Amino acid sequence: MENWTSTPFEPLTGLAGGLLIGLSVVLLLLTLGRIAGISGIAAGAMTQRGIERYWRLAFIAGIVLSAVLYMVFVGDLQVQTQMSSAWLVIAGLLVGFGTRLGSGCTSGHGVAGLSRLSPRSIVATLTFMAAAIVTTNIIRHL
């Protein structure tokens, strides 16, 4: 196992990111009456037709474009991974399975669902967090 390092504490960056995510959730709900759950948006972009597909593709394009704009205006996008590509693929497949099993992802339940006080989202988010804590402890101590 590689050495684990901590990342720098950057509260203003986290605050800015949180505000932008919250703003996108509110705007999507106010303009289209839709919940900003990325797994549902991505799935619908592949299965829906017409306007339903177009807004979903635009939302995904906005996510990609935000990284490009960050690199243009701020500089290199620092991405650090401490796991092999195989582990990342396995993790991605498990997350995909979990989003289908849980009828949503962390953005849908954790951001949009909690803000609406959805009981289902509260249970889902507590489950996500418990699984993340257990998994992190297992991975770090193996």
The residue extents of the domains of the chain are 11-141
Per-residue model confidence as pLDDT tens digits over 51-100: 999 999 999 999 899 889 988 998 887 777 777 889 889 988 888 888 87
Reference 63, options 25, 34, 97, 30; nearest CA is 25
Q: Quick one: pLDDT at residue 38?
A: 85
Which amino acid is it at 77? L
Contact between 45 and 56 under an 8 Å Cβ cutoff? The reply is yes
DSSP string, 6-54: PPP--HHHHHHHHHHHHHHHHHHHHHH-----HHHHHHHHHH--THHHH
Residue 102 pLDDT greater than 60, yes or no: yes
On whether the pTM is more than 0.95, the answer is no
